[in-house]
Amino acid sequence: MSREDYEVVIGLEVHSELSTKTKIFCSCPTEFGGEPNSHCCPICMAMPGALPVLNKKVVEYAIKAGLATNCKIANISKNDRKNYFYPDLPKSYQISQYDIPLCTDGYVEIETENGTKRIGLTRIHIEEDAGKLNHDEYSRGSLVDLNRAGVPLIEIVSEPDLRSAEEADIYLKKLKSILEYIEVSDCKMQEGSLRADVNVSVRKKGTKEFGTRTEMKNMNSFRSITRAIEYEAERQIEVLEQGGKIEQETLRWDEVSGKTFSMRDKEDAQDYRYFPDPDLAIIKISDEMIEKIKSELPEMPENRRERYIKEFNLPEYDSNILTSSKYISDLFENAVKICNNPKAVSNWIMTDITRILNEKEQEPNEIPFSAEQLGELVILIDKGTISSAIAKKVLEELFENPRNPEEIIKEKGWIQISDEGAIKEVVLKILEANPQSIVDFKAGKDRALGFLVGQAMKETKGKANPQMLNKMFLEELNK
């Protein structure tokens, strides 16, 4: 048998930090960073006698996520305790949801090579995040920081519907985009606010039963997830091909070696002893509340994409890219409101802005300038105040030190020369310095014109209006 005879089956459990202002069971801020243990109180530090009170916003956000992913919302739900000992878990139990999650039976649609594919969601439930251990070399011990303890999370569990690393990647990006659109999570992967547990198994094509799965926990980059799935699928196929058996176990993905390793903690197989948390009341959700949240859901990426195609006459490909991130999509729409030139704004975003982001290894939400500033940049080009060459320089400047583009070009002296007299002066000067080009042009070598225009641009440091240069050179040469 060969690689092609096998099918990879992937299920993802995505943990996403919700962007509520306060923690799930106390009023401490959820803000990232801060001095260790400065965003804590008796409740999230699990002082004896302290009690949790459920933050209603968390329920609301989770329902939002459920509705945006076509889930059924429970009218009655509850919190359960998941018991285990670890120093980052101050109560020695995590308040989560066990058998009655807030949302069930949803799906997300992804665009694959073979068209649209529906990925089932088993459930979405709410739970609290744990603290963080900082391993300290000096004291040879670990220090516990509970700032993150009690930050609200939703766990989104997919059905084992994904069939390749690529599909998993598309699904994750889609999920991230949905969560950003409905503004329940900022999904900052570098801050750990979006993490995934990845379940992988393989089976021979055509079989109905699933193979034994392995799990890789707490993965927090798209790249590692893709690489880990690819590696793990190959590894499993290799084991099976050699007549071996897959062990159901938790694996650790090592980014440096690009391999998975067994965690070998089977002797500590956890029994979490789930039971309903007696400190918290039953969660009751009325149909009115669900309807209200539904009516407040923002326009989703699919709808925006359709609108861009119809309203702005943008190609499907461009519309897809523009709507894949809420931040980008908002930037686009707001810039268009200023300059009324969707095609130009779209081009700027898809080419230069994307390129600069990639160079800087930044996320769209790290773009420092505003949609208004981008819109004005486009206006300046459209009015002929600056050339597109200058505009690129203005854009670089917007990334470095964002301010009004008009201010930038004034300050830098980048205003385009469109004065006929001034242009003529340059044209004559360049012709005088390049008699050979005149000869070449007359001999029918059209490239000579391009050379002359280039020289003129160089002379004016890119500020001359290229159309006017072209026209005037032709006039002079054809005299």
Q: Which residues bind another protein (CB under 8 A)?
A: 42, 45-54, 81, 83, 85, 87, 90-93, 144, 271, 273-275, 278-281
Select 76 or 256, whichever has its Cβ closest to another protein: 76
- Which two structure tokens, joined as six digits, stand for 367? 């773009």
Q: Which residue's CB is nearer to another protein, number 280 or number 300? A: 280
Query: What's the min distance (Å) between Cβ of 46 and another protein?
Result: 5
CB-wise, 120 or 276, nearer to another protein? 276
Six-digit token string for 304: 């925006």
Cα separations (Å) of 346 from 328, 360, 362? 10, 20, 19
Q: Cα torsion at 389, 391, 395, 396 (round to 10°)?
A: 30
Question: 92 or 340, CB closer to another protein?
Answer: 92
The nearest distance, CB 272 to another protein, in angstroms, is: 8
Q: Which is nearer to another protein, 80 or 129 (CB)?
A: 80
- Closer of 128 and 180 to another protein (Cβ): 128
Q: Is 148 exposed, middle or buried (CB count within 10 Å of its CB: 0-12, 13-18, 19+)? A: buried
Tell me the closest approach of the beta carbon of residue 4 to another protein, in angstroms: 40
The count of residues in the chain is 479
Q: Which residue number, 86 or 183, has a Cβ lying nearer to another protein?
A: 86
- Least CB distance to another protein at residue 274 (A): 8
β partners of residue 103: 73, 124
Map residue 154 onto helix, strand or coil: strand
Which residues make Cβ contacts (< 8 Å) with residue 208, sequence separation at least 6?
none
| Minimum gap (Å) between residue 273 Cβ and another protein | 4
Three-state SS sequence of 42-85: CCCCCCCCCCCCCCHHHHHHHHHHHHHCCCEECCEECCEEEECC
**Minimum separation from the CB atom of position 50 to another protein (A):** 7
CB of 281 vs another protein, minimal distance in Å: 5
Rounded Cα–Cα distance for residues 280 and 95 (Å) = 10
Backbone angles phi, psi at 16, to 5 degrees: -130, 125
